[in-house]
Chains A and B, each alone.
Chain A
């Protein structure tokens, strides 16, 4: 079965870019959410293989969503990559403290993104 990725971002621009890259270069099934609260709900029901999540979002930010997911047994071991424009060391540190596995800063480089995700999921769905 192909891996399932949950993309979480309130920016349509970033979602468009990520969806295009994954649909073209991988066989992963793609799910999306627009804020941290929706992401937690969707992660619990859909059980994704990996979560790619923005930090600055309405309702619940990426740090809080990450902490919430890590408190759930079903999501404790799901790789979470935070993708954000907040690349300052303080924010990176907060990201890892919240339980993320990796951290990418915007603007996204497609090749880096694919390599990082495939590093966690290959050979589940990478082309």
Chain B
């Protein structure tokens, strides 16, 4: 699993490897790697919980490729593994940068309007290609913070960003993100795009 910090492989790097092998095979292979980690790490270790989630996410995305229900799969994975039920999957047109909703769940009118009203800046955020999590703010994240976005995941396909998953509030039992959430969001950034846009 990738760690934050120097030398980290970016979602774009990982995404670029996907053109050579069928996506379903890649996802099953990643699932096997995470399963192996589960076997090797004691259940008391925090990494075990992370590996378990990533295993389930890869297997679900792999099934989504077969069943062509990638958008539903992304929403379901996030709901079940992150406890977020306010989110949208956006697609960005390559040339015009125009945004459209692929799917969403639990958004209030205000949240929907704020996304539509800030479309140009959201598109700029997609072009930056960086996963954002509230609390890890960097320069350029001000818009996302001001819209109440808790996490923002650019979706890569063929080394280009084609959309994003936008996460608003987590459910009340979650008091912010945990280390494993970052890895799940990175996984979405690499694999959800090909699942959604190749379908």
Report which A residues bind B (CB closer than 8 A): 11-14, 16-17, 20-21, 24-25, 85-88, 105-111, 114
Consensus secondary structure, chain A interface: helix
Assess the B172–A24 pair: CB atoms within 8 A: no
Known A20-B55, A88-B172: A111·B43 in contact at CB below 8 Å: yes
Assess the A106–B83 pair: CB atoms within 8 A: yes
Assess the A107–B85 pair: CB atoms within 8 A: no
Known A11-B79, A13-B77, A85-B171: A20·B57 in contact at CB below 8 Å: no
Known A13-B56, A87-B172: A107·B43 in contact at CB below 8 Å: no
Assess the A105–B173 pair: CB atoms within 8 A: yes
Assess the A12–B63 pair: CB atoms within 8 A: yes
Q: Given A16-B56, A114-B43, list of 10 further CB < 8 A pairs?
A: A11-B79, A13-B73, A14-B56, A17-B56, A20-B38, A25-B43, A85-B79, A106-B79, A107-B80, A110-B52
Known A12-B63, A16-B56, A20-B52: A85·B83 in contact at CB below 8 Å: yes
A107 to B60, CA, bound (A): 16
Residue of B nearest to A25 (CB): B43
Report which B residues bind A (CB closer than 8 A): 35, 38-39, 43-44, 48-49, 52-53, 55-57, 59-60, 63, 73, 76-77, 79-83, 85, 171-174
Assess the A85–B85 pair: CB atoms within 8 A: yes
Assess the B173–A21 pair: CB atoms within 8 A: no
Can you list the 5 inter-chain pairs with the closest CB atoms, starting with the nearest?
A: A87-B173, A17-B56, A111-B43, A16-B56, A13-B60
| B53 surroundings in chain A (CB, below 8 A) | 17, 107
| B59 surroundings in chain A (CB, below 8 A) | 16
Consensus secondary structure, chain B interface: helix
A20 to B73, CA, bound (A): 18
* Closest chain B CB from A25 CB (angstroms): 7
* Closest chain B CB from A15 CB (angstroms): 9
| A110 surroundings in chain B (CB, below 8 A) | 43, 48-49, 52
Assess the B48–A20 pair: CB atoms within 8 A: no
| A14 surroundings in chain B (CB, below 8 A) | 56, 80
Known A24-B38, A24-B39: A13·B80 in contact at CB below 8 Å: yes
A21 to B59, CA, bound (A): 14
26 A-B residue pairs with Cβ-Cβ distance under 8 Å, sorted by A, are A13-B56, A13-B81, A14-B56, A14-B80, A16-B56, A17-B53, A17-B81, A20-B55, A85-B80, A85-B171, A86-B171, A87-B172, A105-B83, A106-B80, A106-B81, A107-B80, A107-B82, A107-B83, A107-B174, A108-B80, A110-B48, A110-B49, A110-B52, A111-B48, A111-B49, A114-B43
Assess the B43–A13 pair: CB atoms within 8 A: no
A85 to B52, CA, bound (A): 18
